[in-house]
Amino acid sequence: MAGNRAVVYNKPGSVEIRDTDFPDLILRDGPGVNPLNVGRKCEHGVILKVVTTNICGSDQHMVRGRTTAPSGLILGHEITGEVIEVGRDVEFIQKGDLVSVPFNIACGRCRNCKERHTNVCLNVNPDRPGSAYGYVDMGGWVGGQSEYVMVPYADFQLLKFPDKAQAMEKILDLTMLSDIFPTGYHGAVSAGVRPGSTVYVAGAGPVGLAAAHSAQLLGAAVVIVGDLNAERLAQAKSFGCETVNLREHANLAEQIEQILGTPEVDCAIDCVGFEAHGHGKAHGEAPATVLNSIMEVTRAGGSLGIPGLYVTGDPGAVDEDSKIGTLKIRFGLGWAKSHTFVTGQTPVMKYHRDLMMSILSGRAQIAKAVNATKISLEEAPNAYQEFDRGVSRKFVIDPHGLVK
């Protein structure tokens, strides 16, 4: 049987490439695997030869040591691949299919899955609803920043591309369907973006850029992106967004007023999450900053989409409350303004087929928006370091050299 290589979390600030076991259709014991999941048979699953797998900001939280992720965890939840083996119970997915894998692992059988809440499947994580590949406290499903990976519940979860040759021509766009594009789009939909909306996007990392592009696809009149990183703001400006440099201009409302003539927007999207920093030159970490600022600048009756990650365990937090996910949020302000908040993992399957069609038709240009940058598996450790320094790129790992 062939071997396998993967990107493995070693210790805070360090990932490395290791030889690992070739996957089979069973969840075996290993770093981060929930004991109740060990030995779980997956004849409903497939083995994929990974074509592309992306580095995500959520991975970076773990690599920085800001979660309880164990050493040895194989990373990666953004996976696109070719089916090379199918389980006994797989009926519709076939060998040779090129597929996108939603980062949420979902059984398709539980109440939540049947109600399209695949982000909180009840059957895949013994600890709590919801799961993902290669992620802390998500059941222990092995990550896909590797040469090969096992994917359970294949018939239900996998999005098959209709034409393999066409898909490979657009693979740097289609690889974003596993997470980043649906996540940004979900943020925009949750915030109520519609034709003519004015939108504020907090954060110009890859998810923020995806949310901004999604808002444009939904017909927003003006999309304003705020960040502390000038390079990332330049990337947002490159596809038509207005920008606010919050390192140079601490007062967000004033900057929005200079752009729109009013200090408020119709809706806002938090694409930063729990490692948020305050505004201004002397900023420090302040995990509730983004949530409080988007409440301030969103009009009464507006909605807030919150795809940014918030956790219940952060050993590197700035205070004891934040270490357990308790933040000093101005909830009274949101209540007074009758805001709607939408949080949690994105239910990828709710959006990925429509977004695939927008890519294949040429309508969506997500790879360009997020500055997709292809790298080899061996280059992944250096890419993690570059990403941590704030480079404005979405790194796409090509473990077999299949991408033109």
Write the pLDDT tens digit of every residue in 147-167: 999 999 999 999 999 999 999
Report, as an integer, the average pLDDT of 249-254: 95
Predicted pLDDT of residue 229: 96
Residue ranges matching CATH 3.90.180.10 in the chain = 4-179+347-397
Predicted pLDDT of residue 196: 98
Residue ranges matching CATH 3.40.50.720 in the chain = 180-343
- The percent of residues above 70 in pLDDT, for the chain, comes to 100
Write the pLDDT tens digit of every residue in 342-398: 999 999 999 999 999 999 999 999 999 999 999 999 999 999 999 999 999 999 999
- Name the pairing type of β-strands 198-202 and 265-270: parallel
Predicted pLDDT of residue 280: 87
Most distant pair of Cα atoms in the chain: their distance: 64
Predicted pLDDT of residue 308: 94
- DSSP codes joined into one string, 304-361: EEE-S---S--TT-SSHHHHTT-----HHHHHHTT-EEEESS--GGGTHHHHHHHHHT
Report the alpha-carbon distance of residue 375 to residue 383 in Å, rounded. Answer: 8
Q: pLDDT at residue 30 above 50?
A: yes
Report the alpha-carbon distance of residue 192 to residue 199 in Å, rounded. Answer: 9
CATH 3.30.420.40 applies to domain 4-179+347-397: no
Write the pLDDT tens digit of every residue in 111-137: 999 999 999 999 999 999 999 999 999
Predicted pLDDT of residue 1: 47
What contacts 366, CB < 8 A, 6 or more positions away? Answer: 173, 176, 180, 181, 210, 213, 359, 372
Q: pLDDT at residue 314 above 60?
A: yes
What confidence tier does 283 reach under pLDDT thresholds 50, 70, 90?
Answer: confident
Predicted pLDDT of residue 50: 98
Predicted pLDDT of residue 26: 97
Burial class from Cβ neighbours inside 10 Å (0-12, 13-18, 19+) for residue 103 reads buried
Average pLDDT, the chain: 96
Write the pLDDT tens digit of every residue in 197-211: 999 999 999 999 999
Query: Residue 277 has what DSSP assignment?
Result: B
CATH 3.40.50.720 applies to domain 180-343: yes
Report, as an integer, the average pLDDT of 77-90: 98
Q: pLDDT at residue 235 above 70?
A: yes
